[in-house]
């Protein structure tokens, strides 16, 4: 399965989400190829420094032969912001994950509606207060985007990733998403730390 991870702007946690999905799937025994097609190569750098087993890394998507893709259970692609179409867009077994923060939420909703096929919407970096998370959950439900995930911004966790150049904390919402992707079960659900 191809998992395409993209965003409309930088700084929304796209690369970190891509690498956490790779990490959790590899921990479940899945063979993962992470294609770090992002301009700053954050996800591949963090995978290497965190010494995550079971994740192969490629940085040049255009030179990957299709035969190679058959060797993996999941191919996770960390796209650059506002990516262009590529040779994997017509793959049957693909899921697109669109990540937004609060500042681009309305534009992300509009963009998300035009994505065909299986898709997941992640609202990331929500202030970590239960009332605020509840308000964002309500907003996501009102626009009927399924499945969706709301992730609070937890400064200490983000800073530890950036300072130490490795991942060491768990993000339960992303662990749940990785399990759903493995099961192929992307029904209309809303995942948050409050669910």
Number of domains, the chain: 1
Q: What is the pTM (predicted TM-score) of this model?
A: 0.85
* CATH number, domain containing residue 57: 3.40.50.300
Average pLDDT, the chain: 80
* pLDDT given for residue 162 in this prediction: 57
Domain extent for 145 = 2-191
* pLDDT given for residue 43 in this prediction: 77
* pLDDT of residue 86 exceeding 80: no
Q: Write out pLDDT tens, residues 24-71.
A: 999 999 999 998 888 777 777 777 777 788 898 888 777 777 777 788
Distance CA 17, CA 171 (A): 9
Q: Write out pLDDT tens, residues 159-178.
A: 556 566 556 677 888 899 99
């Amino acid at each position: 399965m191809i998992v395409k991870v993209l965003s409309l702007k930088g700084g929304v946690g796209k690369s970190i989400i891509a690498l956490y999905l790779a990490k959790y799937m590899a921990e479940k025994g899945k063979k993962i190829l992470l294609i770090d097609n992002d301009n700053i190569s954050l996800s591949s750098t963090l995978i290497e420094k965190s010494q995550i087993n079971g994740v192969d890394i490629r940085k040049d998507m255009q030179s990957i032969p299709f035969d190679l893709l058959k060797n993996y259970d999941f191919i996770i692609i960390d796209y650059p912001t506002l990516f262009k179409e590529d040779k994997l867009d017509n793959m049957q077994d693909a899921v697109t994950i669109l990540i937004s923060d609060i500042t681009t939420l309305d534009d992300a909703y509009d963009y998300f509606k035009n994505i065909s096929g299986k898709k997941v919407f992640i609202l990331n970096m929500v202030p970590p207060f239960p009332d605020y998370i509840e308000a964002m959950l309500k907003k996501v439900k009102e626009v009927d985007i399924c499945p969706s995930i709301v992730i609070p911004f937890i400064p200490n966790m983000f800073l530890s990733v950036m300072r130490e150049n490795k991942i060491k904390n768990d993000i339960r919402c992303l662990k749940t998403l990785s399990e759903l992707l493995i099961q192929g079960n992307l029904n209309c659900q809303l995942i948050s730390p409050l669910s």
